[in-house]
Structure 1
Amino acid sequence: MRIGVLGAGNMAEALAGRWVRAGHEVRIGARTPAKAAALAGRLGCAGGGLRDAAEFGDVVLLAVAHEGALDALRAAGAAEGVLAGRVLIDCTNPMAPPFEAPLTGDGPSAARRIADASGARVVKAFTLVPDGVWRTSPPMSGGRPLGVPLCGDDADALAAVEVLVRDAGGVPMRGGSLARAALLEAAAAFIVGLLVAGEDPSAMLVPVAHMGNPR
């Protein structure tokens, strides 16, 4: 699969590294092409500008800070239709201390805004664990393979991202439509808030067998 990565930070490095090792063709793009080239050199793939990566990828990973997401899309050529129809993985987290609510407030989710700005088939994914987890082999959660919730509206886009989750060492989980990305973003903020408070979020989840039928 051809994967364009928008961003050259920690999540970009962790995920792109796993995909390169899985045999995918990857191109890193950054606002500063030299930074992308440096990361690409470490990973053994290609690097360049944001638009280079967007035009290259059948699937595009948006791995920048939330506040820079729309600027990155513009630099990648979103206004000219470069991303229209492509599969775009949104792993951004719209949150900041004190983690009382997502930074999107009462408006649309970050994923929805990214979809509207890009015209891409957006799948929200890779939002609940930090980059360090994706650097372990295999990534685990409580002794089990790490689950990755996916939210999206396009069946083919979801299928493509499911492949990439497995190739990164995770297990895709059906999270519902892109509308549910707002819940995933809020959950991420809540979980990080617990961690900052010194709490263990995993302790609030009981085994599935004890949950009963929620319907």
Structure 2
Amino acid sequence: MRIGILGTGHMADALGTRWRRAGHDVRTGGRRDGGLRAAALHGTDAVLLAVPYEAAVDVAAGLADVLRGRTLIDCTNPVGPGFTRRTGGGPSAAERVAAAAPGAHVVKAFNLCHVDVWRLTPPVFDGRPLAVPLCGDDEAALAAVRRLVRDLGCVPLSAGGLERAGLVEATAALLIGLWVGEGADAQAIAPPLEYAGPLG
């Protein structure tokens, strides 16, 4: 796959490195070197938005013409002081990105883990591969992101349409607060599936 990465920070490096090792053709571009547009143009199969949340909407809007018809993966976290969501009760970060680049097929993914997790080859814990929730409305875009998740050694999970991206972002705020604020093992808050209650 041809993947463009918007941003040159830690997430861009971690995910880009892993995808290159999996055989994908990856190009990374930053705001300072003027490479954002070149990276977006390169990403004919998928584009990863890996800039700070504060810049995400402006970056998407500035590249809206290039992003039209492309799969745009939003891994940003709108987490503010006190581990609250910067989006408040309004649209999620992913929905704001989609509104800024209305022709793009936005998928929310890769926002629940610290960058060091994405550097693991693969991210497997006690024999269990990491699961990655995806929110999006376009099936072809979701299929492309599922492939990229699997190429990291992870398991893609359908978390619903883009309207549910706010739930994933709120989960990130909760988990980051538990990990950083409390030093807690946040994985312990969810029981194993067999104890989760009646299904169906």
User: Which TM-score tier does this pair reach, normalised by the shorter chain?
Assistant: over 0.9
Residue 60 of structure 1 corresponds to which residue in structure 2?
47
Residue 80 of structure 2 corresponds to which residue in structure 1?
96
The Cα offsets for residues 8-30 of structure 1, whole Å up to 9 and x where unpaired, read as 00010000001101111111010
RMSD: 1.3
Aligned residue type for 1:62: L
Whether 1:198 aligns to 2:183 is yes
Ranges in structure 1 where 5+ consecutive residues have no aligned partner = 34-47
Q: How does 1:45-194 map to 2 (within 5 A)?
A: 49-58=35-44, 59-75=46-62, 77-78=63-64, 81-99=65-83, 101-119=84-102, 120-194=104-178
Residue 11 of structure 1 corresponds to which residue in structure 2?
11
Ranges in structure 2 where 5+ consecutive residues have no aligned partner = none
Q: How many residues get paired?
A: 197
Tell me the CA shift for residue 199 of structure 1: 1.6
Residue 29 of structure 1 corresponds to which residue in structure 2?
29
Residue 2 of structure 1 corresponds to which residue in structure 2?
2
**Which whole-Å CA distance do the structure 2 matches of 1:2 and 1:130 have between them?**
25
Indicate the SS of the match to 1:150: strand
Residue 209 of structure 1 corresponds to which residue in structure 2?
194
The Cα offsets for residues 49-93 of structure 1, whole Å up to 9 and x where unpaired, read as 100011111210001110011222244x22xx1111110000000
Tell me the CA shift for residue 212 of structure 1: 2.1
**Which whole-Å CA distance do the structure 2 matches of 1:213 and 1:179 have between them?**
26
**Which whole-Å CA distance do the structure 2 matches of 1:188 and 1:145 have between them?**
19
**Which whole-Å CA distance do the structure 1 matches of 2:28 and 2:49 have between them?**
11
Question: TM-score, length-normalised on structure 1?
Answer: 0.88
Tell me the CA shift for residue 168 of structure 1: 1.5
Identity rate of aligned residues, in percent?
56
